[in-house]
Structure 1
Amino acid sequence: MTEKVAVIGLGGTGLVSLKNLHEAGLAAVGFDRRDHIGGIWEFDPDENLTSVLKSTRTNISRHRFTFSDFEYPPELKDNFPKAEDIAKYIQAYANHFNLLKHCRLGVTITKLERSKDGQCWDLTIIDTDGKTVTEQYKRVIVCTGPQNKGLIPAHEGVKDFKGKILHSQGFKGPEPFSKQRVIVVGISNTAGDIAADLTEVTDDVYVSHRSGARLVSRTPDGQKPTDHLATRRLGRIIFLFTPFFPRFMGRLGEILIEAGMKKKYKGILKKEWRLLPAPPIPNVAPVMNDYLVDYLHKGKLKSVHGIKRYLDDGTSIELLDGEILRNIDAVIYCTGYDWDYSHLGNGANPTAYPTPEWDSMEHAKLMPFPRLYWGIFSTDYPESLAFIGTYRGHSLSAFSNSDLASSAIAQIWKGNYPIPTKQEMDNWCNDHYRVMLDHIALWRTQTIACDSRKLHDWLNEAAGTGVNQKLGWGWQGWKFWWQDRELYYLLMDGVDTAFLQRLFDVRGEKGRKRWEGARDAILRSNGKIP
């Protein structure tokens, strides 16, 4: 058995985990079935692999969509970078921290399970030479996420359809659909992007959806990026009142977003598009899209009801309102992903616990419930098995979420922060399960979540960032405010960047490493210095 940590998946999450483990003195090796790092951010023409489109841009601004100690190159000026820019950034990050020597690419993980002697983890892989081997590791972080199998609803008559049916996972560009009549099913970020791409090659694109969506622009007219409005001070106010008035605070957020949407599209937002009302925000996040309403208004896209069934003529589809769309050439399902834990065997599968109440919920729709402490640690093997990406993170930025989570894991496994008792973890999981039962009763959800503010505080404490102390109400917070008020107010009211995680040093060698460039990176993100 090797003392190394195995990191499964080498997208942004896996790479930052690899880096933070090595930084803490824990040797680690990363695996990925692709022949490149960066995961979905590298365009891949393989229809069986999820990847960005060539036209994809981030929904989070570059000021927030970063790792904690590595900036974008100064020549990148776009607030919302293209996918190819993100891929280059990830590659530059790996090169800067010399991570590639720890990466094993083109390797498929077929099984992760506890060893027979219970001392380590058996990792069964298909190596680059095609041979199947089993290797043993002391610890494992799973960074692939459970949602990697495209989910297509089983509509009546689908076998009679003569056209092309595919999941958004297999959509690699609009060119194959030139001059065709296409239905895009769903009204998510992905559905909006694919529908917009299709308008470049065809005039007949239908957006089929059963529920509405609140639309948010990346950058409102003449303003800063939308995510800049989500400051730490605003977050603190929201989280202060939410525990006492959860329904009211949720509804208030919905009202404000809807008001902004109606103001932006005043005079052109039509009721027959059925964008409003929309599902509750805690369950379904607003859709980040700058084109959908404009294209609907100009007739480039057509909003229609959800699919009821495929007709036996092979080209017609009946909708839930009785309308029939004829001569349809293709249907693209942007309907999310199935939860796949099939590669996780004995001891590794976080859904291998009875959850009868969850399973009986209408909106759970066969979605298994993963039992993980703070959505990260196995409750049976917290000292050696962790997951990143199974639960929603603490912030808007996936890079920031995985950076902080992997730092916390590294510090805990290094022995610098205590692992709770089994009873404490079970109590937390039981309480969280009850909260999620109330959550799923309202509407379906794409990911499991926990209290993001409490998660933020716990991760910062475990990682030893000093954020809780320096921006809290204790003596260290007041001291920081007194000595550096300008920076304090910038951190509270400016862009909430991941660089904050590397600004302070409160635990020395028993916390995550401070980055000397953090202060300047924060100032640059807020436009204070070039």
Structure 2
Amino acid sequence: MLLPFYSAGKSLLLLFDHHVQHLCKRHGKNLLDHSGNVTRPWIYQFESQSCQLSSFSKSEHHAQFSPDVQHNPPTHPIPSFLTSKNCIAFQEIFLISTMVSERNLSKNVCIIGTGPSGLVAARELRNEGHNVVVFEQNHDVGGQWLYQPKVEHEDPLGRNNILIVHSSIYASLRLTSPREIMGFTDFPFVVKKGRDPRRFPGHKELLLYLQDFCEYFGLREMIRFNTRVEYVGMLNYPEFGKDLRWIVKSKEKEAEEGVEEVFDAVVVATGHYSQPRLPNIKGMDAWRRKQMHSHIYRVPEPFRNEVVVVVGNSLSGQDIGMELVDVAKEIHLSAKSLDVSEGLSKVISKHQNLHLCPQIDSLHEDGRVLFVDGTSIDADTIIYCTGYSYSFPFLDTKGMVIVDDDRVGPLYEHTFPPSLAPSLSFVGIPRKLIGFPFFESQAKWIAQLLSGKRTLPSWDEMMQSIKEFYRSREIDGIPKHNTHDLANFEYCDKYADYIGFPHLEEWRKELCLSVLRNADKNLDTYRDSYDDSEMLQEAYQSPHFAHLGPETF
């Protein structure tokens, strides 16, 4: 088969298998191994009035159609400049083969997960004309936002490679961002009659929003519910000259046997708030009292009259610590630094049973928790609010994508592994940004790459970009496990430029910053007390909301 790749100023024609074998024998090219098989694909590259044979490289593997250049692919009959003797081999292949344009290709694509990133990926890929199948291990959409109250069968520390419980949502959880900034660009997150009207609603309201999104865009027909993906691997590895395809093995919850299918591309959208990340504390394995990760924390009642140590003072640690003050005897919030925000200091000063402590030095069998400053307490329970790790137990990339100290890589722009893109991609890896619009831009880029409308840089260029990013993080003193914590509006805008996606609106950025400032000073009240009415009016008058009409608000 002859596969054409069109790029600025030249056409690249890949010759495979029996075609190259035939040419090697007739024209004396020493391109075969000891068994007579082709050692690697070769390219006939013609430009102006010449034709030459050149070796296939990784960077050329990514050559695809560029939408910015006017292209005129070769058509029958054979162009006159290809009739010279040095192009006789090309003539034979040209006559045998049919030229197939790479434009607007429809791919069979597998998406794993139906959280926000998976749902918007499904919509964008379908809009681009691809055939999409979405796998979801639970009974409904929502991913992390599909609350799972029953956690008794899960390992308390989440040490199992495959978790029973996916969601880490606790019953009282409310959003830390106002609904106005969270919606997708064309589907605002507005108040609906009979639902939670708060600007910082509970988790159920966001689940309902995602279900509305799914219904409005007709995505359910693409989703296989109660189906867990058990394996994803390359079908034709390591034949780099061929279009990479993927074996996907899945199993329905009640089925006796799994199903094996082949897809042209796989989009991983499994989220990053499920696999507990645990600290390494001396004596953890010997401590006989209750230890758990916040992944399975749901309600405060089981901790009534207990002495509880909460390890970590980020969002979940603060939330859980504040919730426990009404039931627990004592709560000791163990933090890396005692230099905490004004808001947390205010909360601690209001509650006699809430204490700020340094890091834990060691745990002892008699129940003692020893802190690094030499103080100790006798505790009943330790709750580790220490974050989550990226985990893809189903994914086999032969080491081309690894998770090293919570760095998923190498990934170009946190999305594409250079050696496997665009047939493998990730949506939703970055943290600490305004997620939904960013996921949307990722999904659009992936969809357009797979259809041939856009191209990625060469393998070398992508790898160089990744190395420069890693180096910049090191210079800034950012630990490896925070590689994907971006917290940068400029990065979101730069990413959007790759596909001509709109930049984040200024009102969205300002509302986000306003919330951060308010939470820093008023941790326990910022969700219900705020002073951003002017910015809010600007938001409601923007195109994002204006088409809904004033009666919406």
Q: If the length of structure 2 is used for normalisation, what is the TM-score?
A: 0.66
Q: Which residue number in structure 1 is paired with residue 352 of structure 2?
A: 299
Residue 142 of structure 1: aligned partner:
268
Q: Which aligned pairs between 1:6-21 and structure 2 lie closer than 5 A?
A: 6-21=110-125
The answer to whether the 8 A contact 2:407-2:480 is kept is no
Deviation per CA, 1:480-527: give whole Å up to 9, x if none.
xxxxxxxxxxx54576799xxxxxxxxxxxxxxxxxx99553348999
Specify whether residues 528 and 127 from structure 1 end up closer, same or farther in structure 2 by C-alpha distance, changes over 3 A only.
closer
- Establish whether residue 126 from structure 1 lines up as the match of residue 251 from structure 2: yes
Task: For residue 180 of structure 2, give the secondary structure of its aligned residue in structure 1.
Answer: coil
Alpha-carbon distance, 1:148 to partner: 3.3
- 1:156 & 1:195 partners in 2: Cα distance? 23
Residue 62 (1) aligns with residue 114 (2): no
Asked whether 1:522 is paired with 2:545, we answer yes
Structure 2: distance between partners of 1:78 and 1:94: 22
Distance 1:163 1:78, change over 3 A: same
Please identify, of 401-410 and 416-425, the stretch whose mean Cα deviation from structure 2 is larger: 416-425
Counting only pairs closer than 5 Å after superposition, residues 424-463 of structure 1 correspond to structure 2 as: 424-439=461-476, 441-443=477-479, 445-449=481-485, 452=488, 455-463=491-499
Alpha-carbon offset, residue 528 of structure 1: 11
Gapped runs of 5+ residues in structure 1? 216-260, 266-290, 353-358, 360-365, 472-490, 499-516
Deviates more, 1:430-439 or 1:183-192: 430-439
Paired residue for 1:332, among 383, 395, 398? Answer: 383
Equivalent pairs: percent with the same residue?
24
Partner Cα distance (1:109, 1:130) in 2: 15
CA contact (8 A) 1:113 1:348 kept: no
CA deviation vs aligned residue, 1:52-104 (integer Å, no higher than 9, x gap): 11111111111101112112244453111110111111111111111111111
- Per-residue deviation, residues 203-254 of structure 1 (Å, max 9, x unmatched): 3111111225654xxxxxxxxxxxxxxxxxxxxxxxxxxxxxxxxxxxxxxx
Counterpart Cα distance in 2 of 1:27 and 1:344: 21
Q: Is 1:99 matched up with 2:219?
A: yes
Partner of 2:394: 343
Distance 1:462 1:154 in 2: 41
Cα-Cα RMSD: 3.1
2:170 alignment counterpart: 53
Kindly provide the amino acid, as one letter, of the partner of residue 464 in structure 1: G
* Equivalent in the alignment of 1:194: 320
* 2:420 paired with 1:381: yes
Show the 5 A alignment for 1:123-272: 123-128=248-253, 129-145=255-271, 148-212=274-338, 215=341, 261=342
Distance 1:443 1:293 in 2: 29
Residue 512 of structure 1 corresponds to which residue in structure 2?
none
Deviation at 1:131, TM superposition (A): 1.8
With 183-192 and 453-462 compared, the bigger mean Cα shift is at 453-462
- Radius of gyration: which is bigger? 2
Distance 2:175 2:352 in 1: 26
2:439 corresponds to: 402
Which of 449, 457, 460 is 1:412 aligned to? Answer: 449
- Return the match for 1:318 from 370, 373, 380: 370
Residue 36 of structure 1 pairs with residue 130 of structure 2? no
Q: Are residues 18 and 147 of structure 1, via their aligned partners in 2, closer, same or farther at CA, if it must alter by over 3 Å?
A: same
The correspondence of residues 343-362 of structure 1 with structure 2, limited to 5 A, is 343-347=394-398, 349-351=400-402
Alpha-carbon deviation of 1:295?
3.9
TM-score (norm 1): 0.68
Q: Does 1:27 align with 2:127?
A: no
Alpha-carbon distance in 1 for matches of 2:419, 2:363: 47
Shift of 1:110: 2.0
Would you tell me which structure has more helix in proportion to its own residues?
1
* Segment drifting more, 157-166 vs 85-94: 157-166
> CA, structure 1 residues 26+438, in 2 after alignment: closer, same or farther (shift >3 Å)?
same
Aligned equivalents of 1:518 and 1:382: distance in 2? 40
Alignment check: 8 A CA contact 2:406 2:480 kept: no
Please list every run of 5 or more consecutive structure 2 residues that lacks an aligned counterpart in the other structure.
Answer: 1-105, 155-164, 513-539
Bigger relative contact order (CA 8 A; separation at least 6): 1
